[in-house]
Amino acid sequence: MMSLYRKLDKPWIIGVIYLSNIILFSIVYWLLLSSSFKDIPDLNFIQALYFSIVTVTTLGFGDIIPNLNSNSLLVCIIIQVTLGVLNIGLFLNSISNKISLNKEKEINERLEAIRKIQVAKVLSILKPIVMSQLSTLADIYKSTSTDNSNKSLEISPKELMNDAYFDQVCLIDYFSMRTKYGSDRLFAQVLIEENDKFQSDLDNFLGKFAYSLDIELLSLINDIQNHRYFNYPKHAMIVYQHNQRFNNGLVIPRHLISMEHSKRISANMDMPLSMRDYHAKLLSLIDVINEYLAEGEIRMQIHLLKHISPPVGSAIARMNFWQGENQMEIDKLFPVYPFEDV
């Protein structure tokens, strides 16, 4: 019943029903009850239409008087008046609902516009934080690149982060001493410091502006902030410090993240894909920022220049990974390290 009411709760539909009421009863008065009126022996259609209109609108001018002895006529008049009153009530209610819905829609649109402005302001604060992380990823890309073109690139993160990108950066040598800060610090140590700052900045951002963001976006930022991808340089530092402490001739694995190379993935081995998952989430966040901010999409600056540190190709793990094709040889080339959390 409610479903039928919702379908009929439209002004034009109720108007059509009201008009049909007038025409239908005009025909009834004309064809079936034309002799049931005082002083009019044979009611014509125009007179019947006129009588139907003044009856359904309850005007009752009294110029056409029904014969009170005609029960059929009286029943028809009662039915028509009742239906007419109901139609008018429904029509007015429908108009009222329409006005209320339009007003509610207008208010919701205004609130949504205000919300988008607020979210845009908040994301404009988040943007430089994300840009700082992209700068760190750009350094990793440069340090693992073999491009000696001595040029600068400006590229969309989504365009850069393809399979070739992942295969390149997963060969990073975390123990390289040639960083943008000089030659006295490990690349892993530099990355840990920059990642910690990024995570701390995200934490401060959420502490101040979480109330302005929806649950999905909060969940995305939280996933990025606490992602396992940040454990790679920490794992590398554990191995390095262990070897330095005990000085036991342990061969330091310089390629912890290489387990995510596409050749290892294609070998159908069970492995984490932290790097790819992290980049996918970061790209999703960048898409949200680009959607809300009108000053242009986020782009990465990669300077493959010799006079700017870190040097191009300065952190590539120098070892032959792809000797052999069977499972055992791949296991030897890509040892699985038992690190989950630091």
180-204: pLDDT as tens digits:
777 778 889 999 999 999 999 999 9
Reported as a pLDDT band with limits 50, 70 and 90, residue 39 is confident
Reported as a pLDDT band with limits 50, 70 and 90, residue 330 is very low
Reported as a pLDDT band with limits 50, 70 and 90, residue 175 is confident
CB 20 within 8 A of CB 97: no
**Count of CA atoms in the C-beta half-sphere (13 A) of 28:** 16
Q: Which residue has the higher pLDDT, 150 or 264?
A: 150
pLDDT at 281: 97
CA torsion angle 330 333 334 339 (round to 10):
140
Segment 166-189 mean pLDDT: 84
Q: Report the 10 Å Cβ neighbour count for 170.
A: 23
pLDDT at 270: 57
pLDDT at 159: 95
Q: Which helix (H) or strand (E) holds 166?
A: helix 163-169
Reported as a pLDDT band with limits 50, 70 and 90, residue 253 is low
Q: Which residue has the higher pLDDT, 308 or 195?
A: 195
151 — alpha (psi -120 to 50), left (phi > 0) or beta?
beta
- Residue 151 pairs in a beta bridge with 304
DSSP string, 244-275: HHH---PPP-S-GGGGGSHHHHHTT-----HH
Counting residues of the chain whose pLDDT is more than 70, the rounded percentage is 84
Tell which residue, 268, 251, 250, 257, has the closest CA to residue 330.
268
pLDDT at 210: 93
Q: Which residue has the higher pLDDT, 237 or 222?
A: 222
pLDDT at 286: 96
pLDDT at 137: 95
For residues 162 and 165, give the distance between their C-alpha atoms in angstroms, rounded to a whole number.
Answer: 5
Reported as a pLDDT band with limits 50, 70 and 90, residue 326 is very low
Reported as a pLDDT band with limits 50, 70 and 90, residue 57 is confident
DSSP letter at 211 equals G
Considering the chain, what is the average pLDDT of its residues?
Answer: 82
Q: Which residue has the higher pLDDT, 201 or 57?
A: 201
pTM given for the model: 0.68
**120-281-220 Cα angle (round to 5):** 55
